[in-house]
Amino acid sequence: MFKELDPHKAQEMVEEGSVNVIDIRDPGSYSAGHIPSAVSLNDTNVKEFIEFTDKEKPLIVYCYHGISSRGAAEYLSQNGFKEVYSMTGGFEAWPD
């Protein structure tokens, strides 16, 4: 089960370095700009990510507007990640 996470709280967690951050937008959008330390996750690398990533470390998932990330967050929580967040508002809501 995942939780919703406010973008300002997400930013605090990213700055602390206490989370893994996943960007599920298309590669072009990721290349144009993404949250610091975010990893682009897609169909080609999701199995490897699940297999080799620390499932005990909190995980923040974001998309464009915070809708698609909910499904991805649920999927990752079902695949063993203990603390998964979907960032509300997506990348559009990320504080500058």
- pLDDT tens column, 64-95: 999 999 999 999 999 999 999 999 999 999 99
Tell me the C-alpha distance between 96 and 92, whole Å.
Answer: 10
63 carries an active-site annotation: yes
The single residue of 35, 63, 76, 84 carrying the catalytic annotation is 63
From start to end of 19-72, where are the E strands? 20-23, 39-40, 59-62
**pTM for the whole structure:** 0.96
Structure token digits, residue 57: 């470390």
The amino acid at residue 3 is K
> What per-residue confidence (pLDDT) applies to 3?
97
